[in-house]
Amino acid sequence: RNYFKDGSHLGVNISYATQSKLEGTADAIGYGKDFIEDSLITLNGDIILDVDILSEIIEDYEKSKPDTLMVLTEVEDPSAFGVVELDGDNVINIVEKPKREEAPSNLINTGIYIFNKDIFDKIDKTEVSPRGEYEITDSLSLQIADGKVVKGHKTTKEWMDIGKPWELIEINEELLNHIEGEIKGTVEEGVTIHGEVFLDEGSLLRSGVYIKGPVYIGKNCDIGPNSYIRGNSYFGDNVHIGNAVEIKNSIIMENTNVSHLSYVGDSILGSNCNIAAGTNIANLRFDNKTVKTTIKNKKTDTGRRKLGAIVGDSVKTGINSSLSPGVKIGVRATIGSGVLLYEDLESDMRVLVKQEHIFQNKKETGQISLEEAEENKEE
């Protein structure tokens, strides 16, 4: 909504319906019932795709006129997706996240559809899934059982799914490889830039900053002095990067501050975060193996040898805190000074170091002589 607004600048009229409760994909699509006269295109919100796919499927739908057109793509391992079974071009079965050896094919549901109005009738009849949601794939199964035509449209064009947090980093790597450098902001003397770097209006690179692109820096950012930025890094608007900070292959969202003498590698920092001086986010295991992280109480291999932290919005760290590879931190969490965090921290939680202090009288322990003490007193 923030991007498209009412659509007038694009020559269209856009209306919005807000899902009051997050009760699944079928429930969300059902909110469009009163807006649709004929057919509709829906896309999952967590995918990146080649826009030509949309032109391709509209042409196919207009020619073949199925009740539903579902976009499919072939993957090596379909076990993390909804997998389809075809009879010719028609989908006859959908299996959610099967074991690899039990998958009916390597063709998966991309989350891109064209529906006619029949889908709303099937949504009304869809029951709650074991996950407690109304699933659009269950609505499609009702269409298939009712003899409706659900056509599978295979595409080889670019499509990427963002189902897991670290996949945002992979998407960012891919997208930044296509940017063209442009300097709209201010670059002080003594800044070094290599590769494609986009610096938006109002942003400032202070003296001593060294950047190896591709790097995207949004509006009104303040970088440096003496900072090192490299490796497919993205900075939203109003980001501040302090003195002697290194950012590598990371996503820093808007209004976030990374103070001096900090390191952020292969990480995501949400918006409105304050990363205190001396905070270090580790991105590499001692044994050089791929980083594992916890998803639904199970350790999951990310497949990435380098992965730092996934940090939610409005998180604050204290000075000299350290985050281990693969750690996830929820929104509004606080990490105290000197903490070494090696497990996930939930939203609205705070973690502090428990310390034991020993106070000693230096005269009594012989660390300072009585003569020195008297001299210091006189001074």
Over residues 281-323, the pLDDT tens digits come to 999 999 999 999 998 888 999 999 999 999 999 999 999 999 9
Find the mean pLDDT for residues 129-142: 94
**Mean pLDDT calculated for residue range 144-160:** 96
Statement: residue 379 has pLDDT above 80:
no
Task: Please check the confidence at residue 24 and state whether its pLDDT lies above 90.
Answer: yes
pLDDT, position 72? 98
Q: How confident is the model at residue 58 (pLDDT cuts 50, 70, 90)?
A: very high
Rounded CA gap, 268 and 171, in Å?
12
Q: What count of other Cβ atoms lies within 10 Å of the Cβ of residue 137? A: 19
Res 371 pLDDT > 70: no
Higher pLDDT, 135 or 360: 135
The reported pTM is 0.81
pLDDT-above-70 percentage for the chain: 97
Q: Give dist(CA 293, CA 344) in Å, integer.
A: 9
Are 170 and 158 in contact, with CB atoms under 8 Å apart? Answer: no
State the Cα–Cα distance between residues 361 and 351, nearest whole angstrom. 32
3-state secondary structure at position 333: coil
* CATH of region 8-161, choose from 2.130.10.10, 3.90.550.10, 1.10.340.30, 3.90.1150.10: 3.90.550.10
Q: Which amino acid is at 341?
A: L
**113, 69 Cβ separation under 8 angstroms:** yes
Angle (nearest 5°) at CA 366 between 364 and 369: 100
Count CB atoms within 10 A of the CB of residue 1: 8
Q: What is the model's pLDDT at position 106?
A: 95
- In CATH terms, the superfamily for domain 170-351 is Hexapeptide repeat proteins (2.160.10.10)
Active-site residue, selected from the candidate residues 9, 153, 240, 260: 260
At residue 137, the pLDDT reads: 94
Tokens of 93: 């079965």
Residue from 152, 160, 154, 13 nearest 81 by CA: 160
Are the C-beta atoms of 177 and 232 separated by less than 8 Å? yes
Domains 8-161 and 170-351 share a fold: no
Domain ranges of the chain: 8-161, 170-351
User: Does 378 score more than 60 pLDDT?
Assistant: no
Taking the CA atoms of 226, 227, 231 and 236 in sequence, report the sign of the dihedral they define.
Answer: negative
- Kind plus residue range of the DSSP H or E element containing 114: strand 107-116
- Asked whether the beta carbons of 277 and 242 are under 8 A apart, the reply is yes
CA torsion sign for 111, 113, 119, 122 is: negative
Residue 341 pairs in a beta bridge with 323
> Among residues 312, 242, 325, which one has the least CA distance to residue 278?
242
**CA distances in angstroms from 330 to 107, 150, 334, listed in the order given:** 34, 40, 9
**What integer pLDDT is reported at residue 370 of this predicted model?**
58
One-letter amino acid for residue 10 of the chain? L
Helix (H) or strand (E) holding 173: helix 167-176
How do beta strands 274-275 and 257-258 pair? parallel
For residues 307 and 289, the answer to whether their CB atoms sit within 8 Å is no
What's the pLDDT score for residue 207? Answer: 98
What is residue 265's three-state secondary structure? strand
Residue 260 annotated in active site:
yes
pLDDT of residue 148: 97
